[in-house]
Amino acid sequence: MSLFIDTEGRLREIKVFTRPTADGRGSISFRTFIIEFPFNRNIEIDTGKLLAVETIKENKYLVLEVVDYLPLHYAMINLDGTIPKELRDEIMRRVEESWNSNESWIETYASPVGYIMEINDNNIKFTKGYIPPLLGSKIKLFTPKAYEKFIFYEDGENIGKVVNENIDLKISLRKAIKYHIGVFAYTGSGKSNLTALLVRKALESIQELKVIIIDVSMEYAVLLLDQLVKLNSRLITLDRLPNNEIDAGRRLIRTHVIPEELSDFKEEIRKAFEALYTQNKLRKLYIPPQGITYLTYGYLIEMVRSQVEDKYVATAQKPFFLMLLQQIDKLMREKKMTKDDIVDDSINEILNEVELKAREANLRENSAIFSFISAIKSYINQEPVTSEEYDIETLAIEALDNSSESARLFIVESPNMDDARMIVSLLIEQIFMRRKRSYSSSPTILFVLDEAQEFIPFDTKQKDNSEASSLAVEKLLRHGRKYYLHGLISTQRLAYLNTNVLQQIHTYFVSTLPRPYDRQLIAETFGVSDSLVEKTLEFDVGQWMIVSFKAALKEDIPVIFKAENNIDKLKEWLKKK
């Protein structure tokens, strides 16, 4: 079967639309290609279909994606209210009878997706770029086989069906996770459903993967209930633990969101919750009331600097504090540490060195420099507080545990946003610190943050912990990849998100976003045309556009698909119970 279908459609004209960027600081242009196809009620053209049109360079074609189409009739072109009513009625009556004539055609709007396709003999190659097309040329239509061959990873995971093509969408989840994932859609479009589906598929296909979900809406324990029961897992809350399995079943049913489709399965769900209790998977997370503050390099530097600036510290000691600052700077450079990294005993060596130099200079024993160094040393070298409590540290240790019997799925539930932000910041910092120290690249960890605008908001505050969570999540998205730490974030309002992080995310799932600003931002960040992003307004629940930059797909072409329903997977399992 051939990869492309030669059609009778021809490129008629190209229109350029320019608009201000979402932030109002510049402008952006998009090209819309207008193609005429012969009128045909069974035409294969539809939104999301891929086309190719010849360019001025021989054997090179531009790849286009259909955005919209509209049957037109020549007689209707200038028909408006200025034409007498009787005449209008007559024209319309005739048009109605003559759609199948030479006077009609299908006007199709398509956007270039930034690719050139080169066909040499039987060899087809895709490269990024734009070459002016030849107006009047005939259009080729991609067949499903061409999608499969050029865009999807053959051994990728199937996450749904391509809309209008009836083929499975196969993506590389491994690569998508590596470069972080974003899920953007208005409430009710199916964000949690898709997120749960991606987590489920990723856990199934990537053996070294662990997933930590920070759940502020109490949804995921149900959406991934089968995974919690089947895999070694943890369901972590801040509440007191239930006393027995009956109590656990009742309480979890009461505190969780049960999707309507599962209302007939309440009994099975309760039993599965009871099983989580008997399997010893429930944990109560202990967070000290005011949160824990670690000694970070940034804080240490601040402390040393304040000694340098302190007028009560004798001048003779100041060079030693400066020396300490320089040594810390050197150590941080060598170890590629940032200000947010936590100070550990690797700093002992420089503390000893500066102390020795100060002694050689015959400083008095009660000098500030000696007490300062000794205080830092005793802080760093103190024995960790051992407790029975399951705290952030225990969670981090379990998450980083390499052994095959260790837990792989962690759902941390915290309906209180301030607590959730504190957990996120402490957990990410702990895991980074331990990962850096261990020099290990396994396991890969995926952090899932629903309602991301709450964790990494446009406006951060210290009071509600958003400053801390924002720093931590930004670090995860900017530097996590080197340490095999990744993020999947989802939000319904991009405008409230610190959008600087969007560039770090290479795979986006977009569904209906009612605000123009949010849609424009998506179009600009990924170079997808406005008109294609506008299409998301018409999406049905569970319908998505995946846009990926060198990650989930072989080529960065937006694909519209209907996601598999995560609830169906869960239902299958519940039915067997």
Binding site for ligand ATP (CB under 6 A): 185, 187-193, 259, 261, 541-542, 563, 565, 567
Strand partners, 171: 157
Residues 460, 470 contacting (CB under 8 angstroms):
yes
When the beta carbons of 476 and 567 are compared against ligand ATP, the nearer one is 567
User: What is residue 267's three-state secondary structure?
Assistant: helix
Please state the closest distance from residue 179 (CB atom) to ligand ATP, in A. Answer: 23
> Measured from the CB atom, is 259 or 298 closer to ligand ATP?
259
Give the nearer residue to ligand ATP in terms of CB position, either 546 or 567.
Answer: 567
- The residue at minimum Cβ distance from ligand ATP is 542
- Residue 539 Cβ vs ligand ATP, minimum distance, rounded to whole Å: 11
* Min separation Cβ 512 and ligand ATP, Å: 9
Minimum distance from CB of 117 to ligand ATP (Å)?
31
| Distance of alpha carbon 322 from alpha carbon 11, whole angstroms | 70
Provide the 3-class DSSP secondary structure of residue 154. coil
**Contact by Cβ (8 Å): 547, 510:** yes
Indicate the residue among 259 and 319 with the shorter CB distance to ligand ATP.
259
Residue for token pair 């846009």: 547
Whether the CB-CB separation of 409 and 227 falls below 8 Å is answered with yes
Task: Please give the structure tokens belonging to residue 554.
Answer: 């072989």
Q: Which is nearer to ligand ATP, 52 or 488 (CB)?
A: 488
Amino acid at position 159, single letter: I
Other CB atoms within 10 A of residue 108 CB: 25
CA proximity to 200, closest of 158, 262, 137: 158
- The DSSP code for 366 is T
Nearer to ligand ATP, 283 or 519 (CB): 519
Three-class DSSP category at 506: coil
Residue with tokens 């999540």, as numbered in its chain? 473
Angle at 552 between CA 23 and CA 436, to 5 degrees: 85
DSSP letter at 152? Answer: S
As measured in angstroms, the least distance from the Cβ of 450 to ligand ATP is 8
Residues in contact with 16: Cβ distance below 8 Å, sequence separation at least 6, in sequence order? 29, 30, 31, 32
For the chain, the C-alpha Rg in angstroms (whole number) is: 30
Please, which residue, 187 or 244, has the CB nearer to ligand ATP?
187
Residue type for 171, please?
I
Please name the amino acid found at residue 138: K
Q: Give the tokens for residue 166.
A: 């009836």
Cα distances from 184 to residues 67, 181, 194, 372, in angstroms, run 20, 10, 11, 49
Residue 190 vs 443, nearer CB to ligand ATP: 190
In the complex, least distance from residue 509 CB atom to ligand ATP, rounded to whole angstroms: 11
Closest CA to 33 of 20, 22, 49: 49
DSSP-derived 3-state class of residue 181? strand
Task: Pick the closer one to ligand ATP by CB: 219 or 555.
Answer: 219
**Residue 566: CB minimum distance to ligand ATP, A:** 7
Q: Nearest approach, Cβ of 259 to ligand ATP (angstroms)?
A: 4
For the packed helices 368-380 and 297-309, what is the interaxial angle rounded to 10 degrees?
170
Taking the alpha carbons of 450, 453, 457, 461 in that order, is the dihedral positive or negative? negative
Q: How far is the CB of 261 from ligand ATP (least distance, A)?
A: 5
- Looking at the Cβ atoms of 204 and 540, the one nearer to ligand ATP is 540
Shortest Å, Cβ 66 to ligand ATP: 23
CB closer to ligand ATP, 117 vs 560: 560
Cβ at position 187, least distance to ligand ATP in Å: 4
Name residue 487's beta-bridge partners. 447
Pick the closer one to ligand ATP by CB: 396 or 449: 449
Shortest separation between residue 292's beta carbon and ligand ATP, angstroms: 31
State which residue, 217 or 374, has the beta carbon closest to ligand ATP.
217
**Closer residue to ligand ATP, CB minimum distance, 296 or 492:** 492
| Nearest approach, Cβ of residue 160 and ligand ATP (Å) | 7
Q: Two tokens at 74?
A: 């020549």
Tokens of 417: 């946003």
Shortest distance, position 517 Cβ to ligand ATP, whole Å: 19
What DSSP letter does each residue of 31-70 carry, written as one string? EEEEEEEE--TT----TT-EEEEEBSSTTEEEEEEEEEEE
Please give the angle made by the CA atoms of 236, 237 and 242, to the nearest 5 degrees: 100
CA atoms within 13 A on the CB side of 487: 27
